[in-house]
Structure 1
Amino acid sequence: MLLGLLSFIVKWSAKEYEISLTSSTSTVHCLKKAIEIQTKVKVERQKLLNLKYKGKAAEDGLKLSALELKPGFKIMMMGSLEEDITTASTAPDNVDNVINDLDLTEEEIALENREEYLAKIAKRVDSYEIKMLNEPRPGKKLLVLDIDYTLFDHRSAAESGNELMRPFLHEFLTSAYHDYDIMIWSATNMKWIEEKMKLLGVSTNQSYKICAYLDYLAMISVHVPKHGLLDVKPLAVIWGKFSGVYSSKNTIMFDDIRRNFLLNPQNGLRIRAFREAHLNRDKDRELLYLAQYLKDLAPLDDMSHINHRSWEKYRPSKKSK
């Protein structure tokens, strides 16, 4: 390393890039600009996972010298190229726009213009291409999972993606895979989904296989009088694509935002949001408990009558054991 220079290794999209900057004057923003030159990922699209200052994500104006990084320090980056997201209506940087959930009442679920929504769903069934990774397995139920704040704290700073992963994720998916095909449905674009699944080691795990990915393009908009226009994840898109395989009787969706399953409330379970991973990863047991819940539901021929809002109190009947 030349005198007066800081050298880093940036790891992104399974590749490594060497970045060198002037040590005395360079800021985090300078680092991001240098990364942009090499990777073409714009500054505003970059998430540097393990750059922290006093326990928080390092701000752009902070001098790199304040971070006291060793030469050759590896920086883990997440971010998408512009060409991969130009058609995305929900870009990764804007995911927090959908954090504040609505505690929807039964009256609000009585949606207007249901025929309009059925037409939108039919259009998605005809035109949307689900990214298939593995074929459905005969006799398996279906588990549909959100990503952000369900499986992954995508806003906190961390040394690695593993520190942002919800505790017991792989154990949960391994357990669920025995009885359920697993699909991932995120309100972001497909490129972002693929990056997160790689980061978390989900796409390469040998103990289970993900069936498919769905992104924001499979969602539709509905109008709720009290709250206006909302984007939702209609499970009927999947049911239409896999007629005779998956239905309301054998499907369950986990999401930290209840309105995402507004059109199929009986099939949705609102999981507790996983945020502030550095504070909560040692005490969060949600996936362990939900793994047992899925085991308890697995023997049922029809899950559509189960009230998932009371999942913690559910006890299987002797007949279902």
Structure 2
Amino acid sequence: MASSSLSEEELTLTVRWSGKEYTVRVCGDDSVGELKRRICEVTNVLPKRQKLLYPKLGPKLSDDSLLLSQLPLKSSLKMTMVGQLKMQKNRVGLPHSMERLPRRHWWELGMDCVRLCCASFTEKKEGMDSTVEDDIIMDQADAPEIIDDFELGQDEVVDIKDKEVNKQKLRRRASQYKIALLNPCRQGKKLLVLDIDYTLFDHRSTAENPLELMRPYLHEFLTAVYEEYDIIIWSATSMKWVELKMEQLGVLNNPNYKITALLDHLAMITVQSDSRGIFDCKPLGLIWAQFPEFYDSKNTIMFDDLRRNFVMNPQNGLTIRPFRKAHSNRGSDQELVKLTQYLLAIADLSDLSLLDHRNWESHTEEKVKRHRHT
């Protein structure tokens, strides 16, 4: 009982960085990785750049999977964070490691070589010069490739989504992370939430143009489903990377459809599984809490190549086949064509959560019509 109380206890910590003090709120059941994410929210220092210092804790603060309840932390605690907002740049604003690479390899570092070759985009942030390419490189390093997804047992999924501590995390995240609308929510439309990496875009292959890595039929897919669905993009990377990637693919300014909002890694929460340990996920409840008059569990569906990402809303998730090796698979990938048909077929249903999205390919138009009238 005492252990449960400790796990659910909310802690208010003070973090010193760059001559200033920042306040972050976490709970005992959060991980060190979640603490770093919260620090990122107030300092803009990405988690992988952070080193947390506190007497006697030493290397424990380097283990992102460790729960804060396992550390001797108190609300009055003050710790120091060491970390940089940006990488060192050479005379034209590009990292030295990139200057030595042929341009055709720059996409291996996750950027549009043509755009970065032509100009250096500089902005003022926290009184320092910071370039877009700095953020992109670090985002790619902060988003390691995850190929092996895991299957959680049904009982374990239910336990995770119903656990009170996870509901508390969701409530806190919904109150602290404010979704900025790019376009108004539309009354009567359902909601489609889309991942980016390996869902819409092969972010690991090499190319001179980002369009070569775009999943086939992306614009046709978005144009068709926009008739029935509002569209939100949710990526596990930072907002800089999300915005740049969507802009490069021509998604943000397409005249045939509009994106309702973009969400990044700061909107995610950390949960714990008995069999798989600690991992991040994308709780749709964050969206529903902020736009309850438009979206709920009955009218929302989410596509992601990692099923763990919708562990808080398993009835709303559809696991899409990952789009990898774009150069060899671009001519044969039909996933978005088939999913267009599925989304339009189910668009008139009153409750999408009653469907088993694992069997989406078997849901022909006739089957959906029969389901509609049962």
TM-score (norm 2): 0.65
Return the match for 1:101 from 149, 157, 165: 149
**In the alignment, is residue 267 of structure 1 matched against residue 316 of structure 2?**
yes
Q: Greater shift after overlay, 181-190 or 92-101?
A: 92-101
2:104 maps to which residue? 51
Post-superposition Cα deviations, 1:148-183, rounded to whole Å, max 9, x if no partner, equal 000000111113111000000000000110000000
Could you tell me how far apart the structure 2 residues matched to 1:85 and 1:224 are? 36
Q: RMSD of aligned C-alpha atoms?
A: 3.2
1:38 maps to which residue? 92
**Taking CA–CA contacts closer than 8 Å with sequence separation of 6 or more, which of the two structures ends up with the larger relative contact order?**
1
Return the match for 2:238 from 168, 182, 189: 189
C-alpha spacing 1:225/1:85, structure 2 compared with 1 (3 Å): farther
2:70 maps to which residue? none
C-alpha spacing 1:119/1:57, structure 2 compared with 1 (3 Å): closer
Return the match for 2:333 from 268, 271, 284: 284
Q: Secondary structure at the match of 1:263?
A: coil
Contact map agreement 2:88 2:95 (CA 8 A) in 1: no
1:61 maps to which residue? none
Superposed, 1:71-220 pairs within 5 Å as 75-77=114-116, 91-111=139-159, 114-220=163-269
TM-score (norm 1): 0.76
Q: Secondary structure at the match of 1:75?
A: helix
Could you tell me how far apart the structure 1 residues matched to 2:268 and 2:173 are? 8
1:309 maps to which residue? 358
Return the match for 2:295 from 236, 240, 246: 246
Could you tell me how far apart the structure 2 residues matched to 1:119 and 1:187 are? 21
The structure with the greater share of residues assigned to helix is: 2
C-alpha spacing 1:45/1:303, structure 2 compared with 1 (3 Å): farther
Could you tell me how far apart the structure 1 residues matched to 2:102 and 2:196 are? 17
Q: Secondary structure at the match of 1:290?
A: helix
Structure 1 ranges of 4+ moved more than 6 A: 78-81, 83-88
Could you tell me how far apart the structure 2 residues matched to 1:87 and 1:271 are? 28
Contact map agreement 1:85 1:91 (CA 8 A) in 2: no
Could you tell me how far apart the structure 1 residues matched to 2:152 and 2:98 are? 33
C-alpha spacing 1:191/1:280, structure 2 compared with 1 (3 Å): same
Q: Greater shift after overlay, 278-287 or 98-107?
A: 98-107
Q: Report the identity percentage.
A: 46
C-alpha spacing 1:261/1:34, structure 2 compared with 1 (3 Å): closer
Q: CA shift at 1:104, angstroms?
A: 1.9
Q: CA shift at 1:95, angstroms?
A: 1.8
Could you tell me how far apart the structure 2 residues matched to 1:280 and 1:318 are? 35
Post-superposition Cα deviations, 1:5-62, rounded to whole Å, max 9, x if no partner, equal xxxxxxxxxxxxxxxxxxxxxxxxxxxx9984323x535689x896059xx969xxxx
C-alpha spacing 1:116/1:191, structure 2 compared with 1 (3 Å): same
Q: CA shift at 1:100, angstroms?
A: 2.6
C-alpha spacing 1:198/1:76, structure 2 compared with 1 (3 Å): same
Contact map agreement 1:219 1:231 (CA 8 A) in 2: yes
Q: Secondary structure at the match of 2:262?
A: strand
Contact map agreement 2:315 2:353 (CA 8 A) in 1: yes
Could you tell me how far apart the structure 2 residues matched to 1:80 and 1:123 are? 34
Post-superposition Cα deviations, 1:228-261, rounded to whole Å, max 9, x if no partner, equal 1010000000000111210110000000000000
Post-superposition Cα deviations, 1:261-314, rounded to whole Å, max 9, x if no partner, equal 011011000000001000000100000000010001101011110000000001
Q: CA shift at 1:103, angstroms?
A: 1.8
2:83 maps to which residue? none
Contact map agreement 1:184 1:212 (CA 8 A) in 2: yes
Contact map agreement 2:194 2:234 (CA 8 A) in 1: yes
Q: CA shift at 1:318, angstroms?
A: 4.4
- Segments of 5+ residues of structure 1 without an aligned counterpart are 1-32, 59-73
Post-superposition Cα deviations, 1:43-95, rounded to whole Å, max 9, x if no partner, equal 5689x896059xx969xxxxxxxxxxxxxxx734499986779999x832232
C-alpha spacing 1:124/1:275, structure 2 compared with 1 (3 Å): same
C-alpha spacing 1:256/1:44, structure 2 compared with 1 (3 Å): farther
Matched letter for residue 183 of structure 1: I
